[in-house]
Amino acid sequence: MTLAVVALLVAPLLRKGDGPTGPAAAAHDVEVYRDQLNEVVADEERGLIGAGEAAAARLEIERRLLRAAERASAAAQPVGRGGRTGLIVAGLIVPLVGFGLYANLGTPGLPDQPFASRAGEATAAAATDAKQSAALGELANKLAAKLAEKPDDAEGWTLLGRTYMETGRFAEGAAAYGRAAALSPVDADLKVSEGEALVYAAEGAVTPAARAAMETALKLDPHHPGALFYLGLGIYQSGDKRGAYEAWVKLGRDTPPEAPYLGQIQSRVDAVARELGITPAKFPTAPPPSAPPPAAPVQAPPPVASGAPGPSAADVQAAQQMAPDDRNAMIRSMVQRLADKLAANPADVEGWTRLGRAYGVLGEAKKSAEAWGKAAALAPADPAIKAELAKARAAAGLP
């Protein structure tokens, strides 16, 4: 195809003489427009057209005459032998260089991937995801029925809330998290989860109910990063960009450098700074060499309306209260969905740590070690991830 295009481009350069677009044709156009000018003058003198019409006609014909004269002048300058040769050589070198670069840098041996087969893979993946969602939905309904009989089970409501989030039932997830928070009134994470579910249900908007949940969480934990993040988002959505910028900058400065969600805060700060026309604040992304591991993990604010996170170790443990078959099906389905998401987005450090913990609770030591290894590769300076990787490898009997 490349050679065919080059041939079409080079062929006209090899022709000799005046063609239909050569100097003779251009000169003919000039003579025609001059005759038209004379006709306009004659019609005006005979009173066939008015002065205004004659002036407009002359202006249009003179414009066309000028363009025709320029074409005639250009066509009268033939391309020299050296110029024509240079063009031909350039037309041949470009595809040759392209083929050479592709042979060295490309993958010419890669087999074809017809659209039909790729479309089939996408359809199969969508069908698998639909089946998993349907299975989770059915299990969520069973868990909701059990909680109707035992409504004081805070861990059960927490697991139900996360399961609803996995299946996209965000409003029901918010209600389940609200029940769990009412049963555990000192747990700031549950109020943040409730508020976050309300944000998801509102398609990313921080509603008054979501803001109230975050403010309640801050009363329990004034430094909760999730609550601070979403309150900053609410400030931004209210139109106070400067206030949101300052809130996120403060959160970024108070966030440990090894926190996996620091990059998201930095992105928000950068975006608002561009809107304000100011230089954004920058946060360190690597801990000092002698920095000790954090005393306790903190909850990361997940991206707004970007999909629900996978199961945590607490969720897996909470599911132990279910019937064995239902419990195993729910846990496996949630873990598999998280693994599928990480296959599509392998740069999610927090996702790999969550998957490592889930596999650890399931007793799959090798898979847990592999997940922690992925996380460590993405965050090589994080001492907490290094420690978890070492424990997982030891549990799996790996050196």
pLDDT of 289: 42
The CATH number of the domain covering residues in 313-395: 1.25.40.10
pLDDT of 97: 67
Tokens standing for residue 1: 């195809």
Q: Which amino acid is at 31?
A: E
The answer to whether 351 and 335 are in contact (CB under 8 A) is no
The CA distance from 248 to 149, in Å, is 43
Q: What is the pLDDT along the chain (399 residues), one digit of tens a residue?
A: 777 776 766 666 555 555 455 556 666 777 777 777 788 778 777 777 777 777 777 777 777 777 776 666 655 555 555 556 666 666 667 667 666 666 666 666 666 666 555 555 556 555 656 666 677 778 888 888 888 888 898 888 998 898 888 888 899 999 999 999 999 999 999 999 999 999 999 989 999 999 999 999 999 999 999 999 999 999 999 999 999 999 999 999 998 888 878 888 998 999 999 999 999 999 987 544 444 444 333 333 444 433 445 555 555 555 555 565 666 666 677 777 788 778 777 878 778 888 888 888 778 888 888 888 888 888 777 777 887 888 888 888 887
User: CATH topology for 169-276?
Assistant: 1.25.40
pLDDT of 274: 94
C-alpha atoms less than 13 angstroms from C-alpha of 34 in its C-beta half-sphere: 8
The CA distance from 277 to 271, in Å, is 10
C-alpha atoms less than 13 angstroms from C-alpha of 322 in its C-beta half-sphere: 27
> CA geometry: angle at 269 spanning 266 and 274, to 5°?
125
What is the separation of C-alpha 315 from the centre of its chain, rounded to a whole number of angstroms? 28
- For helices 154-166 and 115-149, the axis angle rounded to 10 degrees is 160
The CA distance from 64 to 57, in Å, is 11
Cα-Cα end-to-end distance for the chain: 54
The CA distance from 358 to 161, in Å, is 17
pLDDT of 305: 38
Torsion of CA 114, 116, 118, 124, to 10 degrees: -160
> CA geometry: angle at 300 spanning 129 and 138, to 5°?
30
